[in-house]
Amino acid sequence: MGSTVRLLDNTLIDQIAAGEVIERPANLVKELLENAIDAGATAITVAVEDGGRSLVRVSDDGTGMSPEDATRCIERHATSKIAVFDDLLRVATLGFRGEALPSIGSVSRMTITTRPKADLQGTRVMVEGGKVREISPAGCPPGTTVEVQDLFYNVPARKKFLRARQTETARIFEVCQRVALSRPNLRLLVTSDGRTARQYLPAADLAERAYQVFGEVALQDIHAEREGVGLDAVLAPIELARPGARHLFLFVNGRPITDRGLARAIAFAYGDRLAPGHYPRGVVSLRLPSEQVDVNAHPQKTEVRFRQPAQLVDLVTRMLAARLPAPPAGDAYWEARMGTRVDAAPASKEGPTAAENAVPYEARNPNGLRFVAQVRDSALICEGEGQVLVLDRERADALVRYDALREAVSGGSVRRHNLLFPDRFELTPSAQKALERHETLLRDLGFDWSALGEDSCAVRAIPALVADARAVQLFEAALTALEADGDDRRDAILRTLANRAAKPNGDPLTDAAAERIVAGVWPHRDSHQSCVIGCVRLSLKSPETLDD
């Protein structure tokens, strides 16, 4: 049997790559605009004919290229943006792979005319179907012009997948609009079939650019910075919200992206004022360290990965929610969150925390046990009549919370802790079934939520007795307990919630909270022996150690 495995030639490899990078004329325009911006252009002109099929021409006033660079840039993976692997971890440019120009040249007739500002003469490189036809000197202004004719002329099968001229032209306009919003100081002119179609003059800031794009619409300008993340947003009134996120433009470090999680976080900041599946109209631009973003996640670079996606999404929601217009009078959803914390009781910065309220405290319990000290937030030392006890802090806290929860449920007096900022929870299929099957039980235990879509919900309230734990973790723990086999699901949930809330969250335990744990444990000593990890009985002669 003869060999059937062979190496592909470079032209075919480029054409395969072009299928990922250059799917339609709009992708071509996007790649050329990114190259122009990376070259420091302040003015760019985009000209298209026949929806980009016949002609796409992008001219810029950037740095231009030397004859050597102009010749090398059409070779596969030739780039000035990165040199070693570590550069991928902190990419600051829009382009970096060196795929665009060779991919474009492999499926079109492409001409590159370029000149650095310091040179008196430019260079012209002509490529046809991936083959270099001519390299020659050229008279041209500083900057670079890339002209692409007859796109997909040599791959007719791909050309058949293009849409009507009007559709392809509209896609190109959308790409240009995104670029204009991402670079307010850029002058961008777009012509179609010889007529001026779009013109974006340099703007002072994002808000001014947004007015150019959205027209005479009242826009709110929002700026925030927190935990190393900067946020600039320009958002239209809520009544202009639309189904789907098409009119919500997202940028990360100046890069236009699509990100379902971020879009949801932005909509989430509006609470119940946005209908499910609706998104605001406007622009949200994030700034964060480049090492926190992986831009090498999609062939067309329209998606990115974040090192800490959950934290970023939560941060964006909170920054926006704190600066959006106040809810209208009578909005029960936000009144409940901004006016109350636990049921109708007002919040107090001076008062005890939710954990301290969880267990009623008596300074002197029947056995006279008194809290003395805590050891590394893991053990509580207390003394009574003739003995010193060492309690496991987490185990004791969990059992005390469980007792309080069980008593509240039995008496029908479970109090809710309304969240100032609701937490988003992504539902798995099994969690969705548990939620639907046991909705009444969960609400009786103090949970409250509303649907955001088919696979997510907003957690609005949690049981007050465990309110110092994170809402999403409690909700997830409750749903997991419901999915487990067992007869007494209510008791299983109570134990699960108590255990989850008792886990140390990084904050030191206050002495007041420790005293309440001790006071709650000891009256039920017989049922809480598992909390005691050490006991010393005292006498006038010598202590007798009973347990280590």
The predicted structure's pLDDT at residue 458: 86
Give the pLDDT band (50/70/90) at residue 431: confident
Which two structure tokens, joined as six digits, stand for 203? 């703007």
Contact 146, 57 (CB under 8 A): yes
Q: Which residues are CB-contacts of 372 (< 8 A; sequence separation ≥ 6)?
A: 381, 382, 383, 388
pLDDT of residue 167: 94
pLDDT for 4 equals: 61
Rounded percentage of the chain residues whose pLDDT exceeds 90: 38
pLDDT value for 548: 37
CATH code for the domain in which residue 243 is found: 3.30.230.10
Q: Which pLDDT value is given to residue 354?
A: 39
Judge whether 487 lies within some domain.
yes
Q: How far is CA 507 from CA 245, 335, 395, 468, 469, in A?
A: 38, 29, 17, 11, 11
Kindly state whether residue 530 falls inside one of the protein's structural domains. yes
The verdict on 137 and 229 lying in the same domain is no
293 and 257 together in one domain: yes
Tokens of 136: 């020659």
pLDDT digits (tens, 9 = 90+) for 74-129: 887 666 654 555 555 555 667 655 678 988 999 999 999 999 999 999 999 999 99
Nearest to 245 by CA among 218, 274, 272: 274
The span from the CA of 164 to the CA of 315, in Å, is 42
d(CA 375, CA 539): 24
Q: What is the pLDDT of residues 378-419, one digit of tens each?
A: 788 888 766 787 888 888 888 888 888 988 888 888 888 888
Query: What whole-number distance in Å separates Cα of residue 518 and Cα of residue 374?
Result: 11
- Among 176, 129, 242, residue whose Cα is nearest residue 32: 176
Q: Are residues 248 and 195 in the same domain?
A: no
- Structural domain includes residue 369: yes
The answer to whether residue 331 sits within a structural domain is no
Residues 223 and 137 occupy one common structural domain? no
Domain range for residue 155? 10-200
Q: How far are the Cα atoms of 88, 355, 362 from residue 370, in angstroms, in the given order?
A: 58, 19, 10
Looking at residue 164, what is its pLDDT? 92
Mean pLDDT lowest among 60-69, 72-81, 531-540: 531-540
State the Cα–Cα distance between residues 514 and 317, nearest whole angstrom.
34
pLDDT score of 201 more than 50: yes
What pLDDT is stored for residue 357 in this prediction? 41
Same domain, 180 and 234: no
Residue 339 covered by a domain: no
Same domain, 358 and 390: yes
Q: Give the residue with greater pLDDT, 356 vs 370.
A: 370
Q: Do residue 19 and residue 46 come from a single domain?
A: yes
Q: How many domains does the chain have?
A: 3
Residues 194 and 213 in one domain: no
Q: Judge contact between 280 and 241, C-beta under 8 A.
A: yes
Exposed/middle/buried for 261, CB within 10 Å: 0-12, 13-18, 19+? middle
**Percentage with pLDDT > 70 across the chain:** 76
Which residue would you say has higher pLDDT here, 17 or 421? Answer: 421
Does the residue 71 lie in any domain? yes
pLDDT, residue 338, reads 41
Of 60-69, 325-334, 404-413, 487-496, the range with the lowest mean pLDDT is 325-334
Q: In which band, very low, low, confident or very high, does the pLDDT at 69 lie, cut at 50, 70 and 90?
A: very high
Rounded CA-CA distance 333/418 in Å is 10
| pLDDT for residue 327 | 61
Where do runs of H (alpha helix) occur along 269-376?
309-321, 332-338, 354-358
pLDDT at site 21: 63
Closest by alpha carbon to 176, among 202, 198, 209, 153? 198
Among residues 146, 173, 200, the one where a domain terminates is 200
Where a domain ends, among 176, 200, 224? 200
pLDDT at 308: 87
Q: Is the pLDDT of residue 355 over 50?
A: no
Residue 289, in any domain of the structure? yes
- Inside any domain, residue 383: yes
| Same domain? 286 vs 188 | no
CATH code for the domain in which residue 187 is found: 3.30.565.10
Using one digit for the tens of pLDDT, what is the confidence trace for 261-299?
899 889 988 887 888 888 999 999 999 998 888 876 665
The 3-state secondary structure of 436-501 reads HHCHHHHHHCCCEEEECCCCEEEEEEEEHHHCCCCHHHHHHHHHHHHHCCCCCHHHHHHHHHHHHH
| CA–CA gap between residue 236 and residue 284 (Å, rounded) | 11
Q: Which residue, of 305, 321, 337, is where some domain finishes? A: 321
Helix axes 165-182 and 206-214, enclosed angle (nearest 10): 160
Per-chain mean pLDDT for the chain:
81
Whether residues 30 and 162 fall in one domain: yes
Contact 248, 284 (CB under 8 A): yes
Are 359 and 453 within one domain? Answer: yes
Task: Read off the pLDDT of residues 437-473 as tens digits, 9 standing for 90 and up.
Answer: 899 899 999 999 988 777 788 888 999 988 878 888 8
Confidence band of 344 (pLDDT split at 50, 70, 90): very low
pTM: 0.61
Taking a C-beta distance cutoff of 8 angstroms, is the pair 149, 48 a contact?
Answer: no
β-sheet bridge partners, residue 495: none
- pLDDT at residue 346 above 50? no
Same domain, yes or no, for 518 and 375? yes
Alpha-carbon dihedral sign for residues 276, 281, 286, 290? positive
Q: By C-alpha distance, which of 112, 110, 105, 104 is closest to 138?
A: 112
Q: How far apart are CA 536 and CA 463, in angstroms?
A: 37
Taking CA atoms, 280 is separated from 212, 427, 498, in Å, by 18, 23, 39
pLDDT, residue 523, reads: 56
